[in-house]
């Protein structure tokens, strides 16, 4: 189950639960397949979907999500981790290219 913090954004709450397999199929059907690991990376705020993936996500959400919602998810997680200042690294800082 996803961290409740991740569910506090429109993108996070949309992506949690049974939506992941549907999204995986929709992306593959659109010619833009993506791994489940990549989708969990989006949910964790470590990365954001590429534009072609975001378009499919927005279409699947039937307009309930925008590109801004998708980007805001990562930013909100980042700010929350920074404010907590609890000494744990954010998922964003754990990427090899962020070192």
Average pLDDT over the chain, rounded to whole?
82
Asked whether the predicted pLDDT for residue 53 surpasses 70, the reply is yes
Per-residue pLDDT tens for 86-96?
545 444 444 44
Domain spans of the chain, in order of start: 4-84
Which residue bears the tokens 């997680």? 77
From the list 29, 63, 62, 35, the residue with the least C-alpha distance to 50 is: 35
Per-residue pLDDT tens for 28-40?
999 999 999 999 9
* Backbone Cα Rg of the chain: 13
- Kindly write down the DSSP assignment for every residue of 42-83, as one continuous string: HHHTS----HHHHHHHHHHTTTS--HHHHHHHHHHHHHHHHH
User: Quick one: pLDDT at residue 3?
Assistant: 55
Asked whether the predicted pLDDT for residue 5 surpasses 70, the reply is no
């Amino acid at each position: 189950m996803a961290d409740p913090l991740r569910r506090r954004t429109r993108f996070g709450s949309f992506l949690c639960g049974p939506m992941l397999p549907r999204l995986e199929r929709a992306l593959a059907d659109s010619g833009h397949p993506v791994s489940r690991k990549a989708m969990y990376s989006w949910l964790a705020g470590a990365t954001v979907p590429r534009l072609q993936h975001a378009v499919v996500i927005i279409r699947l959400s039937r307009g309930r999500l925008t590109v801004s919602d998708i980007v805001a998810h990562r930013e909100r997680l980042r700010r929350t981790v920074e404010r907590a200042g609890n000494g744990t690294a954010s998922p964003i800082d754990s990427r090899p290219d962020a070192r």
